[in-house]
């Protein structure tokens, strides 16, 4: 199957094509573009949203809280982390996707604007994300969220962060994450394209949006030293074991350099007894979940089914 026509059309609308290597000038340019709000006509309507700042380990952390509808009972909660290779991405870049996530799931979604590399390499952004997760749990009553039904979710680098947080929360004895949604997650630090055990990094090395070279560049910015690559909070798949983690739904894209590591992570979860669903979306590329296309809505409906499944 070739790339889906709707994605081909969406790719034509992208304002910038990533070069093979991301330098600070390109990163700055992309960040500035990503601060521009989505056009109203493609922004999913939402009942209510609110920007706040919460305390973090090194200053305030901006968050955006999406409420899908008015209700008297408590909401499920999803703490959501944007993708962007740990170097780009913002509250605005994922505004459409996280509005849709809230609308489809009926959950209150809290989007986190964590610190970015290369200015703040691993583990700075992850520490922000863990602080935000704890803040949501500590303020569950104020947020009208059921503290026993708080999930984490993210795409790409955000999927990496979400997976890492489940390990961190398990190891630190809390907070108790209910479920995890990992959308084309990065799970294994890439140090060499040729030596990678995942064939998709070579098979899709020239894929749209995310190439193998850009993947390597993102990791180079995120890692502060070689030892970080083996840290399970950086490379979740390298954890000694994945037991006692929350049920997972993993979404991968057919034409994605990091497809195989996401699917392999899912298999490892299953082998360690974690209820896990893996869905490879045919005809798609890395980043498709932020595209305003019916295919993204279809996947969000699958995520909603996972979130709202009481089993």
Residue pair 46/99 in contact by the 8 Å Cβ criterion: yes
Question: Would you state the pLDDT for residue 311?
Answer: 59
Mean pLDDT, the chain, as a whole number? 96
**Which of the residues are catalytic?**
156, 256, 286
Q: Please write the tens of the pLDDT for every residue from 117-141.
A: 999 999 999 999 999 999 999 999 9
Any idea which fold 5-308 has? Rossmann fold (3.40.50)
pTM (predicted TM-score): 0.97
Q: For residue 21, is pLDDT > 90?
A: no
Question: Would you state the pLDDT for residue 39?
Answer: 86
Q: What are phi and psi of 24, to 5 degrees?
A: -65, -35
Tell me: cis bond preceding 53? Omega within 30 of 0 counts.
no
Exposure string over 124-146, b if 16+ CB within 10 A, otherwise e: bbbbbbbbbbbbbbeebeebebb
Secondary structure class of 54 (helix, strand, coil): strand
- Residue-range domain boundaries for the chain: 5-308
Reading the block at residue 209, the tokens are 């949006």
Question: What DSSP letter does each residue of 104-140 carry, written as one string?
Answer: HH--EEEEE----TTTS-TTHHHHHHHHHHHHHHHTH
Q: In angstroms, rounded to a whole number, what is the distance separating the alpha carbons of residues 133 and 151?
A: 9
DSSP state of 245: P
């Amino acid at each position: 199957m070739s790339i889906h026509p709707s994605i081909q059309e969406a790719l034509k609308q992208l304002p910038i094509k990533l070069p093979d290597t991301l330098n600070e000038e390109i990163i700055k340019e992309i960040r500035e573009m990503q601060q521009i709000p989505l056009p109203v006509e493609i922004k999913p309507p939402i009942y209510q949203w609110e920007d706040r700042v919460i305390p973090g380990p090194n200053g305030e952390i901006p968050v955006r809280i999406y409420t899908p509808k008015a209700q008297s009972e408590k909401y499920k909660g999803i703490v959501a982390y944007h993708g962007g290779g740990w170097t780009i991405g913002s509250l605005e870049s994922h505004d459409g996707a996280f509005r849709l996530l809230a609308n489809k799931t009926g959950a209150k979604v809290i989007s986190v604007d964590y610190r970015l590399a290369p200015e703040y390499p691993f583990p700075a952004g992850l520490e922000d994300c863990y602080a935000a997760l704890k803040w949501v749990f500590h303020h569950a009553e104020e947020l009208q969220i059921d503290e026993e039904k708080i999930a984490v979710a993210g795409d790409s680098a955000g999927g990496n962060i979400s997976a890492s947080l489940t390990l961190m929360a398990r190891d630190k004895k809390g907070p108790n994450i209910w479920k995890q949604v990992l959308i084309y997650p990065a799970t294994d630090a890439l140090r060499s394209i040729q030596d990678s055990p995942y064939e998709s990094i070579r098979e899709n090395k020239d894929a749209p949006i995310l190439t193998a070279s850009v993947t390597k560049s993102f990791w180079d910015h995120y890692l502060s030293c070689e030892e970080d690559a083996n840290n399970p909070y950086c490379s979740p798949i390298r954890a000694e074991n994945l037991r006692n983690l929350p049920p997972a739904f993993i979404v991968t894209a057919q034409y994605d350099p990091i497809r195989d590591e996401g699917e392999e992570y899912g298999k490892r979860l299953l082998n360690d007894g974690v209820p896990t669903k893996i869905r490879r979306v045919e005809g798609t590329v890395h980043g498709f979940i932020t595209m305003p296309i019916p295919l993204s809505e279809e996947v969000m409906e699958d995520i909603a089914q996972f979130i709202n499944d009481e089993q």
